[in-house]
Structures are given as C-alpha cells and as structure tokens.
Amino acid sequence: MARTKIDKFDIVIVGGGVVGLAVAYQLSKNPAYAGRNVVILEREKGFGMQTSSRNSEVIHAGIYYATESLKATLCLKGRELLYDYCRRFEIPHARIGKLIVAQSGQESELEALESKAIANGVNDLRSIDRALLTRIEPALEASSALFSPSTGIVDSHSFMQSLLANAERRGVIFSHSTCVESIMPEDQGFLLSTLIDDGRSRQPYALRTKILINCAGLGALQLAAMAFGESELAVCDSSPQQRSALPEQLLSKGSYFDYTGSNPFTHLIYPLPDRENDALGIHATIDLSGALRFGPDAEWCDHIDYSVDPAKAVFFARSVQQYFPTLDPTKLKPSYAGIRTKLRVEGATSDFVIRNEEAAGLPCFINLLGIDSPGLTSSLAIAERVEALLAGAT
C-alpha cells in the first residue's frame, strides 16, 4: 500500500489572532526566513475571531504592570511599534489620551500607580487636579487624575487584516477552519494531525513542521499539553508528582455595554484598577466613530460563553456613576463579551509566558501562554521576542 504523502513546513504558527498574525508578519520580513514555508493554522473561519476582536481596542501606555515584567517591557515597546505601524500602513487610530481618576480618599493609590508607571519607563504622565478636570471633562466626577497622553485607540480589525495581507504577500499561508487534534514530537520537529472544516465535512490533514509556535490564545495551554504529551488533568492537577512545566490557566470573562446616550467625554476614562480580579476596572472607552462604551467587568468562569447578561446593567451603572454621576442607566445596552486567559501565579500578578521549550526537550517549540491584556498593544513587540527566540533555536 502506498504511503500517504505528508506536507512539510518550516514553521507552523497555531492561532490566527493578533499575536499569531504579528509573529507571521515579523518572520515574513526577516531575510533569514525568505523562502521558508510558513503556515498559520486557525480553528475559526477567519482571523482574530476570539480574544483579539473582543477587547477595548485600546493602545495601552504601560502603566499598570509589574516592573521588569514582560507585560511592562513589551507594552512599552509594542506601543511605539504599533503607532508606527498604524502610520505607515494607514490603520485607523487616534492617540486620544486617558484619564485615570481617583475619588476622595484614593489619592495615595493614584500616587502609587504613578510611581509604578515611572518605574516602567512611562514618563509622560501628568497630574490633574479637580479644577482642571472640571474644565477638560465637565461630566467627570473625581478628586484628581493622571493624564496619559500616550494612550490611544485602534481599529483592531484593520490592523489584523493588514498584518495578514503583508504576511501573505511574502508567502505565508493562512489555513482557516483548521483544528489541531494532536501533536507528536519527532527528531526533526513535529507531526501535527488536524481536521479541516470545508463547510460540508471535516477532513483529516496531517503535516510536519521543523518549528512550532503556539499562539493559540484560549487554547494555548491545551496545545502545549499536546506537545508535552500530557492530559489537561495532569496540567491542572495540584499534585507535585503530576504538575508539569505548564502553569495553571484561569479564564476571566469581561462584558461590555454600549451607551446610547450622548458621549460627554473626549478622553478614555479609567477608575483605579480592580486588584481583586486582576483587572483595570469598568472604564469608559470611545471608538473611532465617537461612540461611548463601558467595560469590561471581570468575572471568573470555567467555560467559553460570550453572552452578556442584561441584568449586569445595574452593576455597571453603579460602578460608572462613581465617576459619571449623570449617566442614564436606561441607556446601557448589552454589547459583547470577551474571555481572557490568566495564569495562576502564587503571590504575584500573572505575566506573559514566552519561551523556547528547550529545557523540556523541545528546542523548536516556542510557547506563548497567558497573553491577555496588553496583548494587542504588545503584539509587534511579542513578535520580535519570538523572532529572537527562534534565532537561538534554528
């Protein structure tokens, strides 16, 4: 019996969200990879249909993250890379700035946040007192604020579309509706078994690759477990005998509400961070059309569910009215929700995990885990880091 031919690739990127697309773009323009066969495997029908399209579309400045963490370092670098990319490729964006507001009694928390930002290299923040706040944002109620002029908004769909087009122009293949079912490490790379959904049936497709890059977002931990030959139970089990090199992953759901009333703000408005839920608090964001939206909240969950509970409007109104007292609760309308991954790290805020798994015996496996906010802002800097890791693996 004739053996079935298995396609071979030099690099497989699993995940067609903003990070996977940024990695593909970065590698495609590196002369070292010219002529290489690179493919993106995406389980959805199109790019960026999960976390990458379910966020605030904010370009973050790098304020909140632990000093010297990957989030802090890559957000600061990624911010400027993203603004530069948007200018060069005419991606709709606006550097509209953000106000982080404190209510009476929260001033010390605001000062501590400013100190963290400075430690991270964010040196353009300005302190705003109540009198100036009243002049620049009359509808805003707060005792003081920090103004971040480097914060902005971006059309994330246009950004991802551009990344993919630029990568495809240089030969990268985008394979949508392709679900990875298993991964088998081999001497010279990996054997992947996938199912491709053509709209009528799901057809098996096997391929080999020298290099495997895990940008699978919500599915990244499961994909990593496949590569390590572990079950999800073994990954998440608390027993030291069964715990692998992989961290435990939690899911955080964030819902958004549109505001159908008039938008009184010209800047993004953020309360102080919600430390209990590792979130930034329910903030006011403005899209490029000028429409006002509130969110996200933060709710720990154990499965993927993108529905928005209309009853949450009561909680949203109560939270937002602390800084926007004239908000009309009847004009809050359920919009969309997103799910973000959080890695469980005892005694510390979760950080990105971006590493070559050489220590685990897989030197050509680049693993990206826990890429939540500021993943969009950091995407191009994350891609550069992956490129650097690959330089040591090939």
**Per-residue model confidence (pLDDT) at position 277:** 62
**Per-residue model confidence (pLDDT) at position 348:** 62
The residue written with tokens 């890059």 in the block is: 213
pLDDT band at 268 (very low <50, low <70, confident <90, very high): very high
**Per-residue model confidence (pLDDT) at position 2:** 44
Q: Would you say residue 153 has pLDDT above 90?
A: yes
**Per-residue model confidence (pLDDT) at position 41:** 98
Average pLDDT over residues 348-376: 92
CATH number of the domain residue 106 falls in: 3.30.9.10
Q: What type of residue sits at position 9?
A: F
Q: Tell me, yes or no, whether 26 lies in a domain.
A: yes
**Same domain assignment for residues 221 and 368:** yes
CATH number of the domain residue 181 falls in: 3.50.50.60
Q: Would you say residue 307 has pLDDT above 80?
A: yes
- List pLDDT tens digits, range 131-148: 999 999 999 999 999 999
Q: Tell me, yes or no, whether 110 lies in a domain.
A: yes
Q: At residue 72, what are phi and psi to the nearest 5 degrees?
A: -65, -50
Of 343, 362, 377, the residue at which a domain comes to its end is 343
Provide the whole-model pTM. Answer: 0.94
Segment of 173-177, 361-365, 390-394 carrying the highest mean pLDDT: 173-177
Strands 38-41 and 173-175: parallel
Q: Tell me, yes or no, whether 75 lies in a domain.
A: no
Q: Would you say residue 380 has pLDDT above 80?
A: yes
Average pLDDT over residues 332-353: 87
pLDDT band at 198 (very low <50, low <70, confident <90, very high): confident
**Same domain assignment for residues 216 and 103:** no
**Same domain assignment for residues 376 and 297:** no
Average pLDDT over residues 10-22: 98
Of 327, 343, 359, the residue at which a domain comes to its end is 343
Q: Return all residues near 125 (Cβ < 8 A) that are at least 6 apart.
A: 63, 114, 117, 118, 146, 147, 148
**Same domain assignment for residues 103 and 142:** yes
**Per-residue model confidence (pLDDT) at position 349:** 65
Q: Return all residues near 325 (Cβ < 8 A) that are at least 6 apart.
A: 141
Range of the structural domain that residue 122 is part of: 98-149+250-343
Q: Would you say residue 174 has pLDDT above 70?
A: yes
**Same domain assignment for residues 191 and 239:** yes
**Per-residue model confidence (pLDDT) at position 297:** 95
- List pLDDT tens digits, range 202-225: 999 999 999 999 999 999 999 999
Q: Would you say residue 244 has pLDDT above 80?
A: no
| Average pLDDT, rounded, for the chain | 92
Q: Return all residues near 68 (Cβ < 8 A) that are at least 6 apart.
A: none
Q: Tell me, yes or no, whether 115 lies in a domain.
A: yes
- List pLDDT tens digits, range 43-80: 999 999 999 999 999 999 999 999 999 999 999 999 99
DSSP H or E stretch at residue 109 = helix 107-119
Number of domains into which the chain is organized? 2
- Which one-letter DSSP state was computed for residue 364? T
The share of the chain scoring above pLDDT 90, in percent, equals: 84
Find, among 164, 50, 157, 144, the residue nearest to 100 by Cα.
Answer: 144
Q: Would you say residue 3 has pLDDT above 60?
A: no
**Per-residue model confidence (pLDDT) at position 392:** 74
Q: Tell me, yes or no, whether 58 lies in a domain.
A: no
